[in-house]
Structure 1
Amino acid sequence: MNALTNNTATLLRRYLWLLETIYSAGRITLDEIRRRWLRNEWSGGEELPRKTFENHRKAVETLFDVNIACDRRTNEYFIEYGDDLERDDLRRWLLETFAVNDLLVNSKRLRRRIALEPIPSGYTYLTTVLRVMKENRCLEIIYRHTYDEKREKRYEVEPYGLKAFRRRWYLIAESVEMGGIYAFALDRVVDITPTAKEAEIPLDFDCAEFYADAFGIIRIPGQSAERIEIRVYGKQANYVRALPLHPTQREIERTAEYSVFEYRLAPTYDFRMELLSHGADVEVLQPAWFREEVKKIVDEMSKRYDG
């Protein structure tokens, strides 16, 4: 990493720290910000001058499209319209990621007591993809479909967007070879090269809207969302209630033995596997064809264990 890149990364960490500090505090004075700054390893033991604070404040407002306001009656700073951050998935993810990283950096003595889940290496290409998306250019990628080195294939794609699912990043891109828009897992990308060719991305494309009817990353053209009902037994109902399987989840029946949840989504392979992962605690009720499909899999599993 050269000096310029290192300096840019340091500034970004400072900006994120300031945004997260004010946001998590709700309202906070400059004196308290300075005290917290000195306790943080990013400070290097140096004070935070007012001029530097104001420069960082302006940079945060520009980069993250937020307004850091000051209540002159109490001299407290706060994020104006802070609720917008809660509704913005990208900015919330960025803040949460930084907050965890900041805690780890400032808690070196606890590192052996914190076990993190290994994350696929797709982060390597995030910067490149974001830059190319901003410049509205095409990408050439070498993709390994089944993690088999003998099955690598080159694609020229138009990058529509990025989607994170289950701690993995996916490039959502138009590919002639794949027959349309396809989700390329970034950790399966072997190489990536920006091209000079201009991408023709629809101006109204919205990645979240594109996947609104999907459970995860699988989206089959022509498959519509359906009303799905599942019955969840015992304590597992509390788990599903606390951690909804999909934004459309709605509890329509609740008893001492079970709860019935309703969804509006396309019942694709990944949703089916999610339901099966809950074992005998989850039963598909509707639609009938989906219930039968899951039943066949359960029957096949039963035969294997009977054998």
Structure 2
Amino acid sequence: MSRIHYLLRNILIINKIKNDPYIGLLELTDYIEQTLTLRGIEDAGISRRTILRDIQSIQTDFGIDIQYNRQRQGYFIEDLALRSDVEQFLDSFDVFNALNMEAGVPDFVFAEKHRPRGTQHLFSLIHAIKNALRIRFSYEKFQGETLSERYLEPYALKECRGRWYVVGRTKGQQDLKTYGLDRISNLDVTEERFKKDASVNLSEKFRYSYGIYSSDEYPVEEVVLSFDAEDGRYLKSLPLHPTQEIIQDSKEEFVIRLQVKITEDFIMEILSRSWSLKVIQPASLQERLHNIYQSALKR
């Protein structure tokens, strides 16, 4: 059975136990088998022994503690508050896998035609990160330069706008760098182990970032934006950033406050809502957007 099926089983188990606590082993096994069949994976060979092994591996792979309650004869997750990075990975992988079923996408599902490249590296990178193994790969920048060889100590995977990135350090350097999986080739997971720096807090590093850029050259700024009510409904259901705070929500105007690094990714995102966008602060962002609009008009 392929590694993608193995990881998919684990994700299905986590989500099922999270949403249906104290589910029994037999019911859980039947659910996993039926769900895999619906996703076009026939002859999955799922047994109760398989599920028990998966439950044990989930602790190692995801750091999620699944316990068995003898009194209620079912499984539950010890700490339901899953880390946000784990939640995001589970959601992203599930969507990716749902749209890449082996049986093919049915003709009534109209998914975007562009699919991210590089996802074939995910499992090798997960293995390298879990086991603190250095990796080598060839990398091509967007500028179309010749391939360069990279030697990296991988710390994490990050998904942004449909693209996957590996985050890590070059040996002997302190700066964390990100590399798009779609521009990686000749990936080699070496047998060389490295000691992870316990002071590296990636959740904090990306806390105020938008997109993949997290460099300290971008200061964290308070940003206040105004939109019309229609855009407001969209931004309530899908916030622009985790720090989003609603200041005003009326029939005329929807105003939010963010604490964010004003990166190129952030600017591109708010430009996509230009028809109703008004930048209240900071003035530097107002000026930057003004220059972008002026430049566009002159073309």
**Fold in common (TM above 0.5):** yes
Larger Rg: 1
1:66 aligned residue: 65
Conserved? CA contact 1:132–1:194, under 8 Å? yes
Change (3 A) 1:25 1:95: farther
Contact 1:61 1:68 in 2 (8 A): no
Counterpart pick for 1:84 among 69, 73, 81: 81
Name which of 136, 144, 147 aligns with 1:152: 147
Question: How much does 1:186 deviate?
Answer: 1.1
SS where residue 240 of structure 1 aligns? helix
The answer as to whether partners of 1:23 and 1:82 remain within 8 angstroms in 2 is no
TM-score, normalised on structure 1?
A: 0.78
Matches within 5 A, 1:193-232: 193-195=188-190, 199=194, 201-232=196-227
Is the helix fraction higher in 1 or 2? Answer: 1
Q: Counterparts of 1:134-213 in structure 2 under 5 Å?
A: 134-146=130-142, 148=144, 151-175=146-170, 180-195=175-190, 199=194, 201-213=196-208
1:133 correspondence with 2:129: yes
Output the CA distance in 2 between the equivalents of 1:238 and 1:109. Answer: 34
Distance 1:190-1:256 versus aligned 2 partners, 3 A rule: same
> How far apart in 1 are the matches of 2:281 and 2:241?
16
| 1:293 shift after superposition | 0.9
Secondary structure of the equivalent of 1:191? strand
TM-score if structure 2 supplies the norm length? 0.80
Alpha-carbon RMSD = 3.5
Deviation at 1:187, TM superposition (A): 0.4
* Maintained 8 Å contact 2:138/2:150: yes
Q: Which runs of 5+ in 1 are unaligned?
A: 1-5
Question: Aligned in 2, Cα 1:14/1:254: closer, same or farther, shift over 3 Å?
Answer: closer
| Counterpart check, 1:300 vs 2:295 | yes
Residue 119 of structure 2, aligned match among 117, 123, 126? 123
Q: Counterpart of 2:118 in 1: which secondary structure?
A: helix
Structure 1 CA distance, aligned partners of 2:200 and 2:216? 16
Q: Which structure 2 residue ranges, 5 or more long, are not aligned? A: none
Residue 239 of structure 2 is aligned to residue 244 of structure 1: yes
Structure 2 residue 107 is the aligned partner of structure 1 residue 112: yes
User: Over residues 170-203 of structure 1, what are the superposed CA-to-partner deviations in whole Å (9 max), with x where a residue is unaligned?
Assistant: 1223348x99432211101132234566546422
State the AA in 2 paired with 1:144: E
TM-superposed deviation, 1:229: 0.7
Shift of 1:268: 1.2
Q: CA–CA distance in 1 between the matches of 2:188 and 2:51?
A: 39
Q: Give deviations 1:76-110, integer Å, cap 9, x for gaps.
A: x242335223x44325633663487479859x697
Structure 2 counterpart of 1:225, which letter?
V
Q: Answer yes or no: is 1:282 the counterpart of 2:277.
A: yes
2: CA distance between counterparts of 1:33 and 1:88?
25
Matched residue type, 1:22: I
**1:158/1:200 contact within 8 Å kept:** no
Aligned residues: 292
- In structure 2, C-alpha distance between the alignment counterparts of 1:45 and 1:136, rounded to whole Å: 31
Letter in 2 for 1:84: A
Contact (CA 8 Å) 1:142, 1:153: kept in 2 or not?
yes
Identify which range, 220-229 or 186-195, moves more after superposition. Answer: 186-195
Equivalent-residue separation in structure 2 for 1:109 and 1:135 (angstroms): 34
For 2:30 and 2:100, the matched residues in 1 are separated by 19
Report the CA distance between 1:253 and its aligned residue. Answer: 2.1
1:54–1:155 Cα change, 3 Å: closer
Q: Report the CA distance shift for 1:79/1:267 in structure 2 as closer, same or farther (over 3 A).
A: same
- Judge conservation of contact 1:147–1:188 (CA < 8 Å) in 2: no
Shift of 1:226: 0.8
Q: Which letter does structure 1 place at the counterpart of 2:132?
A: N
The Cα shift of 1:166 comes to 1.2
| Distance apart, 1:15 and its partner CA | 4.3
User: Secondary structure at the residue paired with 1:265?
Assistant: strand
CA contact (8 A) 1:163 1:172 kept: yes
- Aligned-residue offset at 1:211: 1.3
